[in-house]
Amino acid sequence: MIDAALSGLPSGAAYALLGVAVVLLYRMAGVLNFSIAVFGAFGAFIMVSLFERGLPFGLAIAVGVLAGLALSAAMGAVMAALFPDTDPITRSVVTIGMAISLFAVAFRIFGDRPRSFPPLFPSVSYTVSGVSLKLSGMVALGLASVLAFAIWLFLRRTRIGVQVAAMSTRSTTAELLGIPVRSYTVAIWALAGAIATMAPILAAPTRQADFTSLGLLVVPALAAALLGSFHSLGLTVVAGLGIGVLEAMAVRWPAVSTWRTTLPFFVILVVLLWRQRGEVWDEAR
């Protein structure tokens, strides 16, 4: 049972990384980005296409991450230029349109057949107290945790981080004070795109790796971000890892294994219903 749970760490780390990207954009740019996983999938497919053509693995990863970063930064520039003062719902709807457009472009370029992604880490296992610990799972766990902590530290302890936080709450005031709001917005989108590209590169070797499946990784990412209240990076990481572990454990039960991909939807539904119930209780008091 423990081995089955640990096998879900790579997928859980991917959900956690995408969740961190979602929370980062929501907190710092005021947009709930439904296209973030599509940016990541686009970069990941560029990576695997270059690798299949003989480019060294490390260089292919670097190019893929840069592609996801550039695509997300371009979207951020569009949002900063055309939708700077619109409400969050409008900005989120724009990201849905972008996701649909990118799906169409990706199907034309890459097709929708599954691709064989090479594992990011060697298939090495260590046995501790009878439990098999895979190197890929432990590194993925460490990567998601360290990245979330580094972003939290940057936002809380650096001057630029404080400026970005101020920009997210009062962008007009921040711009009047000389903070380069547009440049920071594009930089935040770029960072989120780089993080989002690493997520499918981590998850693809352990799952069906067609573009649709990788692009829809945004659903468990949104579930993780929701459990973190779209604010806490730490809780988002824990929630993403937990969803990955639950999906892996569900494989052991034939009655629910065919439904394991619906787990993130179930999580979202339960959290929303619980919070709505809490609001009703508050009004009753």
Beta pairing class for 125-128 and 131-134? antiparallel
Which tokens in the block code for residue 46?
């560029």
| Tokens 């052991």, located at residue | 252
19 Cβ neighbours under 8 A, 6+ residues apart:
220, 221, 222, 224, 225, 228, 236, 237, 239, 240
Beta bridge partners of 131: 128
d(CA 228, CA 271): 11
Q: Which CATH class is domain 2-284?
A: mainly alpha
H/E element, 121: none
33 Cβ neighbours under 8 A, 6+ residues apart:
21, 22, 25, 26, 92, 95, 192
Residue 134: strand, helix, or coil: strand
pTM: 0.84
pLDDT tens track, the chain, 285 positions:
566 666 677 788 888 889 999 998 888 877 888 999 999 999 999 999 999 898 998 899 999 999 999 999 999 888 888 877 777 788 888 899 899 999 989 888 888 888 888 877 666 555 554 555 566 667 777 778 888 888 888 877 777 777 776 666 666 666 666 667 778 888 889 999 999 998 888 888 877 788 888 888 889 999 999 988 888 888 998 888 888 888 777 777 766 666 667 778 788 888 878 777 655 455 545
Q: Residue by residue, what is the 3-state secondary structure of 176-189?
A: HCCCCHHHHHHHHH
Domain boundaries, the chain: 2-284
Which tokens in the block code for residue 244?
């990955």
Q: Is 165 exposed, middle or buried (0-12, 13-18, 19+ CB in 10 A)?
A: middle
Name the nearest CA neighbour of 137 among 152, 119, 164, 149: 119
| Tokens 């929701």, located at residue | 226
Which tokens in the block code for residue 126?
């260590």
Confidence (pLDDT) at 166: 65
Residue 126: strand, helix, or coil: strand
User: 125, 134 in Cβ contact below 8 A?
Assistant: yes
Helix, strand and coil in the chain, % to nearest 5: 75, 5, 20
Residue 31: strand, helix, or coil: coil
d(CA 78, CA 75): 5
